[in-house]
Each structure stands twice: as C-alpha cells, then as structure tokens.
Chain A
Amino acid sequence: MIKAILIFNNHGKPRLSKFYEHYTEDTEQQIIRETFHLVSKRDENVCNFLEGGMLIGGSDYKLIYRHYATLYFVFCVDSSESELGILDLIQVFVETLDKCFENVCELDLIFHVDKVHNILAEMVMGGMVLETNMNEIITQVDAQNKMEKSETFIFQSTRQDR
C-alpha cells in the first residue's frame, strides 16, 4: 500500500502532499521535512530506494523517489508494492502531468493544486493503484475538463443574461 505521496522542490518546499493514512497536520509537516532531509542529501545516480524515516514507520516502509529538475517525487510504500512498479508509476504520473499541462513545471503544481490532485486521484485511490494506463487517465481528465468548461460556459452565459 502507498502510505503517502509527496512532492517538494529542491529547497524542501512542499508542492503536493497526499497522505493515505491519517496524521495530524503537524506530523504531516514533520514527515515532509524528514523525508526531504533523507532524500535531498543523496547523490544523483544512486538508487531510487531507501528506508523510510522514523516518523513514517522506519524500515518497514520504503521511500521510492525520483528527482526531476527542481522537484522530488516521493512515494512512501510498504513491502506489498513492487519497487520498480512504483518507480514506473512515478514516471507515468509525471508524463501525465506533462501532457495535461504541456511541459509541466513547478508553477503548474502551485497554481493548479486541484488539477494535480484530480490527476493523482485517477491513478491512486486510498493508497492503492487505480489505473496505470496513461491514455485512460488522460481520457478521464479530459472528460472532466470538458464538463468543467461546459458548466463554466452555462454559468457565465446565465450571468450575462441577468
């Protein structure tokens, strides 16, 4: 099971956090900080797996991460997940973001928190992987966007009528 999905930048500023188990707000922030310290001190070209920090449950959990330009994508998982599988999942996630935002960058994550959450929700649900097929994910996201647009349109037009 995936316990948490964290995205933070090279300075440790969180850009997305999604916990699939309940923690208090303080603990969540501490976990983000701890994870950042664990991950950021690692060289490039070392392996993408390491044991989790104490707060998240120590060596029973693994941190699987990828570092893209300014952002770290970290998945915290238990032993029931395949490490390479999760690594691929991160790749799928990033590729999907890239398609949805056209050359995704850190700012997209800040200004479209809701969209990022929605895309993630299409992939991971309650800590389990829901969908790994990028086309399927993008179809869903597109359908949502369409619905959103049509509603905004109706809404704006009614307002103009008034």
Chain B
Amino acid sequence: MQGTDCMCLFITFLTGDKALDGYSKKKYICKLLFIFLLGHDIDFGHMEAVNLLSSNKYTEKQIGYLFISVLVNSNSDLIRLINNGIKNDLSSRNPTFMNLALHCIANVGSREMAEAFASEVPRILVAGDTVDSVKQSAALCLLRLNRTSPDLVPMGEWTARVVHLLNDQHLGVVTAATSLITTLALKSPDDFKTSVSLAIARLSRIVTSASIDLQDYTYYFVAAPWLSVKLLRLLQCYPPPEDAALRSRLTECLETILNKAQEPPKSKKVQHSNAKNAVLFEAIALIIHHDSEPTLLVRACNQLGQFLQHRETNLRYLALESMCTLASSEFSHEAVKTHMETVINALKTERDVSVRQRAVDLLYAMCDRSNAKQIVAEMLSYLETADYSIREEIVLKVAILAEKYAVDYTWYVDTILNLIRIAGDYVSEEVWYRVIQIVINRDDVQGYAAKTVFEALQAPACHENLVKVGGYILGEFGNLIAGDSRSSPLVQFNLLHSKFHLCSVPTRALLLSAYIKFINLFPEIKATIQDVLRSDSQLRNADVELQQRAVEYLRLSCIASTDILATVLEEMPPFPERESSILAKLKRKKGRGNLPDIDEARKNVNVNGNGNSEPSDKIEATNKVSSPSFTDLLNLNSTPSAGNTLLVDVFSDNSTFSATEVSEENFARFICKNNGVIYENQLLQIGLKSEYRQNLGRMYVFYGNKTSTQFLNFSTSVTSTDILRTQLNIHAKTVDPVIEGGAQVQQILNIECLSGFTDTPVLNVQFRYGGMMQNISLKLPVMLNKFFQPTEMSSQDFFQRWKQLGAPQQEVQKIFKSKHPMDAEVTKAKIIGFGVALLEGVDPNQENFVGAGVIHTKSIQVGCLLRLEPNVQAQMYRLTLRTSKDSVSQRLCDLLSEQF
C-alpha cells in the first residue's frame, strides 16, 4: 500500500506544483513525514519543500520548514537555497517568520548555516526591538550554533548584553538565556562571571516570591521550577561567590528551598512534588558542588536519607544518585555512611533494576576501610541474584574494593575466589590477572593462596577462570603446600589434570606451563608429567600452540639439567607495581561522563584544599599501557602468528621480484605527501605528482634523462602481488620508448582502490643506455591512506564514534620513540598530509592530536579515527587508531607511525 502511495506522491510532485493548492501540498508533505517516520527513505520532495519555505503564505512556509528540519540532513545540496529562504525570513521583521527561521537553523545546525548566520543571530538576540518570543528562539539558536561550530561564534560585544537578559521581564527569555549562558560559561568562565550575582538575585526573587507573583510560570504551586533548575545549574559552573553578602543571599535561597521541601505539600498531584523536588535536587547538587557549608551538606544528606525510603520510585532513584556524589565530600561522607543499612536493604528489596544499580553505585562510593568487609560481602551476596546486565560491573567493583581496602590479603584472595565461583562468566581477564599479580608480589599470602585454590579446585564443577588462577598459582607456589600429604605433588597434579580436558585452548596452554613448572618444583613426579606430555593428545594436538608447548616442554624436561631447569622455570619475579587495570576497565565501561567514581570525586575535593591526593588521571594513562604489557608478562596468549606472517612476507617478496632489488628508500616520505622525487641515480630521475579523489587516484610519473644521450627501449610496468591485484587496479598509459638526452617524459597511472590493501605495487623501469640494459624497481607510494577523505566533526561526535569503535580488534595502538624533533606544527602538517581532518579542540589535552577521515574504496567505506599523544619528556608517541576494520587499523597504524 505504501509503495503505491509513494508512487502517487512522487508522480504528483513530478508533474509540477501548479496543479496543487496549498492544502494538498500540505497534505502530501504530512504524508511524506509519516512515511519517513515509519522508516522509509524519502529522497524526493526536498526541492518542493524549499519552494514552500520561500512562499509568502504562513501555512506553506511552516510546512516547508517542518519538512526541511525533519528530513534534510546537514550536508544536503539544498542548504544554499534553504539558507537564502532563512535569510529573507530573518530580515522580514515578522516575528512568526523569524521564529520559523531560527527554529530551522537550530534544528539543522549545519556548518554552512553556522557560517551564514553566526553573526546575525547574536545581533537579533540583543537588539532592543526584538520581541520576546524571538529573543527566546535566538538565544537557543545561538546556543546550538555554539555547540556545533564553536569556532564560528566568537565572543563579542554581545556577551555582556546577553548576561543582562537574566534580568529580563519575560521568564521565558530568562530561561533561554540561562541555558545559553550556562553553556558559554563552561567554555569561558571569566567572560560570564557577572552572571553569578544576577542569577542569585533572580533565584532569590523566585524562591521567596509568593507563588501567585509569577502567574503563568507557576507550575502546580511551584514558582518557575524550570527556571530555578536552570539557574542552579548555571551557578554550578562557578565556585561559591567570594562576596560575603552575595554568599549569604545564596545560602538563604538554598535554605529556603530545603525548608520548603519539608513543608506539607500544597497539592496531592505528583506533578507538584516532582516540580518541587526537581528544584530541591538541583539545590542539593549545588550544595555538593560548592562543598563548603558543612551544615547545608548534612541537611542535604538527611533530606536525601528521607527520600531513600520514599514511596515514589523516582525519588529513591534520584536520592541514591545524589548521595553518590555526596559520599565523596569529606564533610558528608560520614553522614552518608549512616544510611548504609537502608541502601543495602534497597539492593535486596528494590523491584527496579535501575534503582538497584544506583544502590550498587552508592555502596561503591561510600565504601571505605571501616565498612569494606560488610559492603563487599553484601555485593557478593547480591551478585548471586543480580541482573545479568549489571553483573560484570558489580564484579569489577567488588574486585576494586577488595583490593583497595584489603587489610589482610587472605581476605582479598578469598573474595576474588568467591567472585569467580559466583559469577565466573562475568570475571574478565583483568580481574584474574590482577589477583595473580598481587599474589606474586606478596610473600605473605602465597601459601594461603595456594591452599585456598587447591581447596576450591576440589569442587566437582569449577569455573574455567578458577582453573586458570589455580593452575598459575599452584605452578608457582604449589611447593608451599606440598608438605601436607593431602596436597602432595601428585595429588596437585592429578587435580589440575582432571580439569584439563574440559578447558578451552588458552587454559590448556596455561596448564601445560604449570606442568613444566611442576617438573621443576617436584622432580619426583617428572616421569608422570612427561608421560602426559608425551601422549598423542598433546604431542599431536591439532592446535598449533598446544602442540608446540607440549613438544618444547617435553624436550626441555628431557635434555636440560636440573640447574638449567631451575633457572628457566624460576619463580616469576614480582610485577612492577602498577595501578589496577580493573579500574581502567570500569572507567571504560561506564564512560567518563557520569562516573560515580571515588577517585575522581575526591580529586574535586582536593581542589578545594585538603585530602589525600589520588592521581586518577595518571592511573588511567599508565593503565592503558599496562594492560597489554601485563598480558605479555603472563605470556599466555603468545600465538605463533607473528612469526608466520613474517615468513609469508619473505616468500612473497622473493617470488615476485627476484631479479632486482626493489628501491624503497623514499617510499616513507610519500606517506604524508603526494609530490616529489622518488628515485634518482646518475642516469635517471623519477618524479611523482599525484592526486586522489574518493577511491580514485591519478599519478603523473616524470622520467627525466639526466645524461646527454638517448635512452632506448624505454619501457615501464607496474606489478602487484596476486592479492593486491584484487584490491587495487592500476592502469598505466604507455610511454614513448625513446627519451632524448636531457628530456623528460610523463606517464599517467590511473588508480582505483577496490578494497582495503596492505601490499605495495612496484614500478619496474627498463631501458638501454650505452649498450647496457638498466633495470630499476621501486615501490610506488600508493597506500591505503591516500584514499582518505577528511571528516570534520565535533568533539561530542568524535567521542561518540570513538566509543562505538570500542571493540578490541578495531583498535590498534603503537607506542614508539620519536625519530624527529617533536614539533607540533610539523606533526599537524603530517597528520593533515596523511589525509585525515585534524580536529582542533576535541581532545581535552591540548598536546594531543586527533583526526578523523573516511577511507573510500569501491566496495566499502571505512571510517577512521586517530589519536596521537606525544610525550615530550620521554620523546615517545602513542598512536591509537580505531576503524571498523581491523586490517585497516593495523595498516594505517604501521604507515603513520613511521612518520614521527
């Protein structure tokens, strides 16, 4: 039905608009909107909408704008026409038309629009004769432009006048202006300092007013709740005011809000309590943000404590959430702790998973040395029944708390083993790596750990993660419990081996390593273990890794003397002290934004003066490096693949071009540039000039004869490997077979990228000079990055996409020493030369570079984000690339990392 409907509409549009009256046009556009809503592409009617938008009739104009703001995305070809219509409407002085135009700018918010109207909108906003409703729209429109293209909206003389909008008569204008100022103040606090006093004055007037004063803006007996919330948000951009009078006025406001919350409700409607509490929660957020008035903090905490048992689920949820931040303030931390029982109870009885999750967050935030054991125990017991969606997070939290507040490490080991027992599937590698790391680093707990894992392994069915931990720990410290006849070497070995066949390949590999360690620890069971290693299921295992380990370990145990064995299989040295990689994992999981993180929140307290400092940023930085290298240390996952590819490379190179040596000395220089001399000897100079668009490229190759005599039989060819031929098409035009002395000839190569590739085509040049045949081969600088199209995007977009590409195989990271002096400008030029758009102001750290681009190939397009973090002191770089294809990430990383 929709198909035919669509066709009708399509035909109607095609036959021209003259036949249609305004009503029918409107009807059709509404139908199109509905079809679009149901998920069908609408790729016609755009032009029609632009015409409607330029009409003088309100009805047509409105429907035109509606269509445009719902359907047109920011990079449509029609933007210029639309801009034209908007321009006319903005200058029309008709408030309705102006509002429509401003709405359209705000909703589409494209760069072209920002370019066209960034200077006009502020002018409208502060002009004296603008009507209120237009001012409102202009404020929000400006806010939107500032979000999407901050560079195009410079601060100017209008800033001071915007601040004064806080005094406007019309509360709608004040609300819009407050939103605008809050966003601007976050970016440049100094320019908007004056807004603090105005905001406090305004807030005070609202809070103390009788509700009838504000007439329309009173919502269910609450005076202008929305504006109050906005003003309180704005105040959260700044520290507490220094001026004493102002400060006491604000305190008074906050107290009044807290008092009003205690008053009996003026209405039974839920809207009344919602509006009242919206203001209350925001006031509490401000109190927590200021963190300077102990009495207010404690009052806030008590107020929230009441909500913890409120019958409204929403309030319980929000109370738990606010308390999370409150727990990080030193003034109220103790007060929050008094509610522990209630929170634990919430965890057990709450019906709603959202609320339970907040309860877990709060328990995590309020945990300290005094209550750690209880909280961890409660979380562990909750874990048994927890929702699947939040189990992993709880596991991480338990692991972190257990480590952080462990007084004796036997408790820590017990907790983690319990964790694996209860929720083994949700225990990520980081968690069990960490327990091993800690056991190895602490002599006092090793014997206990060995004993405990030995006991845990007795269970008939135990989780594979437990087998891993058990294998590793017994392999290292099994000797500590071997004295007991119940855990003699042979018993230990049989116990481990009884699990062997049920485990996956990586675990088996780990167990094999444990066995060879046993040979060193307990020479008396060497023969038994050798028998196991010698069995067909090991020596002829289908898995290369297992087979290799079995063969090598067997040989090692046979030929090496006891001394050598003892050296090779020595106990692992302590790991260098690192901060927990689990913490980093939790941060990644939660996203940086609203993480109720202890460290981070406490850091805020430090800004205010005291408290123990915990360098959480540094933690994160080191962790990203540490987690992969940690894996290496454990050396469990070393696959032989690296060796394999190397081997293949050698073969492929040899087989294709055995005759001449392929020159690639200048190859790397062309990664970030397109033109220059790629080869030169006494006879010949080869220059390149190339241009690329999307997946197509054209390369001009210039052959210059440097001698005074002719080159004869001059011929060239481009060769590719078999794989490359399916990925890259290169078509070379023929060249003249004779090059006169001193002359230059040009050859054109047309290039088409079919799919992602890593190999490099080779240009072979042959000619006869002075009776001798000359052969030259060189790698043609056609690499994957040449097919980049740069992509501009905002910081928000960038991080959103960055997160979307978070799968481990999509990211490639490389840390390398800088080969050239570290000059920011040179680096920028290189990144731009590499083909991506250099995104300024995206990375919170100014030193870092981020870029984005799309690789165009015929079959697919691959979006690519990159981040380069220089460390000037260490003369190192860290390069991270994320693309949707792992092979592409790897190749780009290899190419770019050569450049610095």
Contacts and interface: CB of A to CB of B under 8 A. Distances in A.
Q: Which among A82, A83, A92, A126 has the highest number of chain B CB atoms within 10 Å?
A: A126
Given A129-B175, A148-B59, A47 B314 contact: yes
B39 A148 contact: no
Contact of B37 (A80, A113, A118): A113
A16 B172 contact: no
B670 interface: no
Contact of A128 (B74, B144, B357): B144
Contact of A114 (B41, B66, B107, B182): B66
A38 B53 CA distance: 38
Nearest to A29: B39
Interface stretch (B18-26, B602-610, B620-628): B18-26
Contacts of A114: 26, 29-30, 33, 62-63, 66
B310 to A, nearest CB: 11
B864 interface: no
A87 B314 contact: yes
A59 interface: yes
A46 B229 contact: no
Interface string A51-73: 10000011110000000000000
Interface string A96-108: 0000000000000
Contact of B216 (A21, A125, A136): A136
B112 interface: no
A132 B219 contact: yes
B103 A121 contact: yes
Given A114-B30, A128-B179, A91 B21 contact: no
A133 B136 CA distance: 13
Interface residues of A, number: 65
A121 B67 CA distance: 13
Interface in A103-162: 110, 112-114, 117-118, 121, 125-133, 135-136, 140, 143-144, 147-148, 151-152, 155, 159
A61 to B, nearest CB: 9
B121 to A, nearest CB: 11
Contact of B803 (A1, A45, A58): A58
Contacts of A46: 313, 351-352, 354-355
Interface string B28-46: 0110011011110100000
B314 A110 contact: no
B163 to A, nearest CB: 18
A57 B592 CA distance: 12
A22 B58 contact: no
Nearest to B179: A128
B225 A47 contact: no
B103 A60 contact: no
A144 B23 CA distance: 15
B435 interface: no
A22 B96 CA distance: 26
Contact of B594 (A21, A59, A127, A132): A59
B106 A126 contact: yes
Contact of B136 (A28, A82, A130): A130
Interface in A72-97: 78-80, 82-85, 87-89, 91-92
Contacts of A51: 354, 357
B818 interface: no
B171 interface: yes
A125 B275 contact: no
Nearest to A20: B107
A131 B136 contact: yes
B33 A22 contact: no
A57 B590 CA distance: 11
Given A46-B351, A144-B62, A113 B313 contact: no
Contacts of B41: 25
A128 to B, nearest CB: 5
Contacts of A133: 171-172, 216-217
A155 B22 contact: yes
A113 B351 contact: no
Given A14-B37, A47-B355, A82-B229, A132 B175 contact: yes
B854 to A, nearest CB: 14
A43 to B, nearest CB: 7
B743 interface: no
B597 interface: no
Interface stretch (B277-285, B557-565, B671-679): B277-285
A85 B317 contact: no
B892 to A, nearest CB: 24
B57 interface: yes
A110 B34 contact: yes
A14 B274 CA distance: 28
B112 to A, nearest CB: 13
Interface in B310-355: 313-314, 316-318, 351-352, 354-355
Nearest to A83: B318
B838 interface: no
B784 interface: no
B34 A113 contact: yes
Contact of B225 (A29, A88, A147): A88
A22 B30 contact: no
Nearest to A92: B219
Contacts of B58: 144, 147-148, 151
A49 B800 CA distance: 21
Contact of A59 (B226, B318, B590): B590
Contacts of B314: 47-49, 83-84, 87
A84 B33 contact: no
Contacts of B36: 25
B176 A128 contact: yes
A49 B107 CA distance: 25
Interface of B: 21-23, 26, 29-30, 33-34, 36-39, 41, 57-59, 62-63, 66, 70, 73-74, 96, 102-103, 106-107, 109, 133, 136-137, 140-141, 143-144, 147, 171-172, 175-176, 179, 182, 216-217, 219, 225-226, 229, 233, 271, 274-275, 277-278, 281-282, 313-314, 316-318, 351-352, 354-355, 357, 590-591, 593-594, 796, 800, 803
29 contacts: A18-B70, A29-B39, A42-B352, A46-B351, A47-B317, A48-B313, A49-B314, A79-B593, A79-B594, A83-B278, A85-B225, A87-B274, A91-B271, A114-B30, A114-B33, A118-B66, A126-B103, A126-B106, A127-B144, A128-B140, A129-B179, A131-B175, A132-B175, A135-B216, A136-B216, A143-B96, A148-B58, A155-B21, A155-B23
Given A83-B314, A132-B219, 8 more contacts: A17-B37, A57-B800, A59-B591, A92-B219, A125-B106, A128-B179, A130-B136, A133-B217
Q: Which 9 A-B pairs have the closest CB atoms?
A: A126-B106, A84-B278, A126-B144, A46-B352, A47-B313, A60-B593, A29-B39, A132-B226, A47-B317
